[in-house]
Amino acid sequence: MPKRPIVVGVHGSHGSQAALRWAATIALGQQRELVAVRVWEPPILAPYAPAAARQSAVDERAGAVAGLAAAVQEIGDNMPAVRVRTVLATGLTARVLLSLAEGAELLVLGRHQPAAQVSEASPVAQACLQHAPCPVVLVGQQEQLPGPRVPGDSLIEDVSPVHEAVR
């Protein structure tokens, strides 16, 4: 039976990059697949908004694809042994992440403020913390990566510098 993957949300912030690096380190140590997820919503503007203010859905999607590829490229350059699968999805971010967390070992999300309390997390992070079918880890942009890993070690030892909620 294959090991369950680690799912990580990627959206381009420093916090999400830190979360991606943290999740890749855990995935490597646990010999798990890393699923890097970028969710985007096509822009919805009032029909009377100036055309110059609108970015086409094609351009929005291209930007999401490029952002996901750039984020994952850093992992490939620094940790080539990590198995990474990328997912580009359209929809509400929390719903997509919660759906992909079904069957996952862990859901990892970035947070914007290094010292933020769970109650100060973004609406997406709060929804995931409340409804995820697996443990959720919030990683801040200043978090330290865990030390060397031995396959089979407990994940709990690695989450001490971050907030974790277990459902």
Query: pLDDT per residue over 21-44, tens digit each?
Result: 999 999 999 999 999 999 988 777
Side-chain half-sphere exposure of 161, counting CA atoms within 13 A: 15
**How many distinct structural domains can be found in the chain?**
1
| Global confidence as pTM | 0.79
Q: Which domain holds residue 36?
A: 6-45+52-165
User: Residue 56 domain-assigned?
Assistant: yes
Q: For residue 167, is pLDDT > 60?
A: no
| CATH number, position 28 | 3.40.50.12370
User: Residue 150 domain-assigned?
Assistant: yes
What is the rounded average pLDDT for all residues in the chain?
81
Q: For residue 1, is pLDDT > 80?
A: no
Kindly give the pairing relationship between strand 84-90 and strand 136-140.
unpaired
For residues 157 and 81, the model is more confident at: 81
Tokens 């697949």 identify what position? 33
User: Residue 94 domain-assigned?
Assistant: yes
User: Residue 1 domain-assigned?
Assistant: no
Q: For residue 150, is pLDDT > 70?
A: no
* Residues β-bridged to residue 9: 37
Region 135-154: what's the mean pLDDT?
60
